[in-house]
Amino acid sequence: MSKLKILVADDHELVRRGSIAILAGQDDFEICAEAATGTEALEQVRKTRPDIVILDIGMPSLNGLEVARQVMKEFPETKILILTVHESEQVIREVLNAGARGFVLKSDAARDLLVAVDALRRNKTFFTTNVAEMVLDGFLTTGQNSLRGSIARGRLTTREREIVQMLAEGKTTKDVASLLGLGFKTVDTHRTNIMRKLSINSVSELVVYAVRNGIVNLAMPLPGPETNLTDYV
């Protein structure tokens, strides 16, 4: 039987190495690649065609959820396992919507990672008990306002989600335009549309949204009320 090919992507080297160490002890597992950024992870997926991709959510350049969406679009047979510190209801919803088959908290990795990978290999899903209960409770108690918010977030295009991450990471509109090869006015239009869809009014609120939903790391500085928004233009 051929070995199960696994790619591990996490921007924290200690976490990435720890995950690899847990998995490498299995004779029927092969770590085919590792990555420290979302962009690198996507490149390695295209290059190595892993069976399972283990992704952190808050990676730089391209967050794990966006990587998951791209992988599912290009390689629908690949299975996605999210390994993260975030466990809010909205993050879990986003994980499910991105097509992930499993969700493991980093604090539980030593106990659950091998079990989760084995479940995905057998075409099953894996969610820890707390996460499963949170998902069920969330679906049972979702009100109309929350539902409308989820629908609005679901309408963000791939390009808009990419821009959300870049702006939340502190890049200016000019920076984003340069990195994506777009015109300044095009990016500014995207930003306006994003603000409208998410019902937010400032870059500060956009950063808070991105942090709460695991799009960027909690370690990054948050703009406060005194932030000069012209710094982001």
Q: Note the Cα 119 to chain centre separation in Å.
A: 21
CB-based contacts of 169, cutoff 8 Å, min separation 6:
60, 216, 220
- Per residue in 77-95, pLDDT tens? 999 999 888 767 777 777 8
Q: What is the mean pLDDT of the chain?
A: 80
Phi/psi of residue 30, each to 5°?
A: -130, 120
The pTM of the full predicted model, rounded to 2 decimals, is 0.63
- Per residue in 3-62, pLDDT tens? 999 999 999 999 999 999 999 989 999 999 999 999 999 999 999 999 999 999 888 888
Class of the CATH domain delimited by 156-232: mainly alpha
**C-beta of residue 76 within 8 angstroms of C-beta of residue 51:** no
pLDDT value at position 130? 67
pLDDT value at position 144? 40
Per-domain residue ranges of the chain: 4-139, 156-232
Q: How confident is the model at residue 217 (pLDDT cuts 50, 70, 90)?
A: low
Q: How far, in Å, CA of 166 to CA of 142, rounded? A: 30
Residue 4 bridge partners (DSSP): 29
CATH superfamily of 4-139: Response regulator (3.40.50.2300)
Residue 84 bridge partners (DSSP): 105
